[in-house]
Structure 1
């Protein structure tokens, strides 16, 4: 126990012998006990306030860090007290920057290389026959089927022929419109404006194909949609190479297969009709065993198109696809320009 003070705990007068202060009449022991209790309470209050102030400072620091998208500036006391470990012999490779640079280089060379190899393949009779059997004919038949679906007809594509219903199918009209409407809705919901734009354009195409074309005109369109669809779908498959890093097609390397199939399908159709401008004999007129008239023969003999019109329209489809691919290619290069310069900026 601490010795008694030399003055009265209450009034501060000089302390005298005896239990009471002659100046204020307080009992010394009781006054000292109350003073000790008061001092202890003040110390506890000060400690509690210090803890609260520290917690408030940390909360404010965390809030400012979150608002600035930065790491918190405070360090917990236990972490701060730990000795810093230094490993001077360890070096770390900036793998993210290297991966971004590699992806940027791929975006420069993959699309032109795929188109060039596809052009070489269609110029080689052996490779052309193989690619047509295994790669391009399914896309050709899918072009017929997609054209029929957008005109309101049911269609089932196979390897060499596409079966199309004789009449429009209300179920197919509702199904296609529902899928495209879902695409537009999801684009709006997730703020994916490209989804909304594509869905809206395709809904307009379906409206024209279903409402503006009579059945005979619709059959003419999905006859034309074989090679035309092959070029359009081929170009669409090639665009999948530029999907974002977290996309399923990129994570599982499916974009590589799609760009190969797309380049082969597009070049198979475009090279033929581009060459047909000066060599009409390249056009596949005639009968196909088990199928009937070829698409070109049906367009000329059944629907009254002249040869120049057939060539011109197929070439226009192919050139339009090339223009769209070129715009996408240049846009992709623009987004990775910093990585190509060695700055390490991210490839989108």
Structure 2
């Protein structure tokens, strides 16, 4: 501990010492935050060590400045009701303090909302963010030793596949065997994943996907591999070799995603007619063939197209005919993936992409799940 305290362990005077210490901090949360702060090289003085400090602890910076910390706790933080909760927390939060939310789980979109509202957080699964004047820490930390041990819903590809299938039909309660057959997985694997979703409060008691929470959790894992190419497949031989399948949109084949598909579906986005298409291919084997036959684009040139491997085969099934949509003003010809996957593409851009999906409700029969 740095020598910023006297022999009685009382902090140096600060502006707000006249207020009685906060009564609402969970002692377990205080310990979890103290342990996390220690792993990033800072000192956190617990309230029982700090004397009459009007907060749940004191963060000591390397330059010996002290920041009062007030802690709010929750088992799960999602965007549902978060703004109202933040108003409550902010009302009782004292001036000149850092507000830190300590929770067993904080969803990706809730983290964005906390950040925008000026709150720090500790997700006890292993991530700490502390932000204040002269301080910014955003780091992975060890999981809290006594935090509830949850099964990780997205431990493998099956989590992405199950979440995608559920969000495609959000009005339908999950049924293990039909879902397993749909995505080609063993029922036992699907059952274990659904159990993990329930543990994480991403599935309702009625067996429905909890939206938009499940969407944003899936979006945080949506990281398809891609390749910029200099040629589009056009002649019959290439179309066959690369399993493009322009003949039957209900069967697997290449599927248009991202901005060009979003424009056809009526999303509030403006693109040029020569904007390179983003095309999903069914698997890694097709991607390897594409790299051989379609020539990777030079880094200093604009690609003709971008090819991505679908994170789940569902992306490349039940493709949509762009000529069926009134928004097809650019004469789109590529069969499109469904709006769910287009939205997942768009929100990878945390700026303009999120703004676009906020203003977009997909056409029937699809549901808005974001």
Q: Normalising TM by the smaller chain, what interval?
A: under 0.3
After TM superposition, the score normalised by the length of structure 1 is 0.22
After TM superposition, the score normalised by the length of structure 2 is 0.21
Structure with bigger strand share is 2
Between structure 1 and structure 2, the one with the greater Rg is 1
